[in-house]
Every structure is written in structure tokens, then in C-alpha cells.
Amino acid sequence: MAGGGSAIRGSRVGAGPMGEAERGDTAPRQRIVFFCANGHETATVFAVEASIPEAWDCPRCGLPTSTDVNNPPPPPKIEPYKTHLAYVKERRSEQEAAEILEEALEKLRARRARGEVIF
């Protein structure tokens, strides 16, 4: 059983290796090495006219990096998880909390006195 079609499979008009003559010249490049606190080196290529960032993320550990091998940036300080109560305590003083609690208890007592069912 013979199939019809092109004798050269997987090709198309214009396919093939393109050289610099067809693409144009490549931009001048520079290789910049970044260092993280764990001692990882990350080499990245930038165009010569591109501005080099001060920091880069290490692809191995995710820490921030810099180009100074002797002074890499320290790991970021990780804030612990805060509970809802911790956020409330940041906004309210102990006296305000006591006043709010007493107001809520008065409302609850008033509802009970009226005979309302409280769940």
C-alpha cells in the first residue's frame, strides 16, 4: 500500500538551517555570573547594551544573587504565618478588646432576656 504525497517527509518550502546571512548578525553579548549565599553560580548572557540587573534569582535554590562573589545577598527573612488573632492584636489594644467584648456580651444577654434562641 503506497501513500501519496511528497517524497521528502517532514520538510517544507524554505526549511533548512539558516545562517547569519539570512538572520542577520547576532548582537554582541556578555556573560555575567551571579552568586547566591549557598555558593551557587549562575551564568547568564546579556546583550552588551542591555542594563545588567543588580539581583537575579538563583535557579537552583531560589535565593537572591548578586555579581559580587565575596558578598552575595543574604537570604530573605521569612515571616512566620500570622493568625487572625495576631492581626487583630496589632490593630486593637487590650482596653479596646475588653470594651468590644463587653459590648458583645451585653447584646447577647439582652437577646437572652428577650427569649431569643441563640445558637
Report the distance separating Cα 64 and Cα 38, nearest Å: 10
Cell of 97: 478588646
The reply to whether 61 sits in an annotated binding site is: yes
Cell of 52: 545588567
Report the distance separating Cα 15 and Cα 59, nearest Å: 34
Contact between residue 36 and residue 59 where contact means Cβ atoms under 8 Å apart:
no
The reply to whether 40 sits in an annotated binding site is: yes
Strand-strand pairing, 29-36 and 56-57: unpaired
The reply to whether 18 sits in an annotated binding site is: no
Known binding site: residues?
Answer: 36, 40, 58, 61
Known binding site for Zn(2+): residues?
Answer: 36, 40, 58, 61
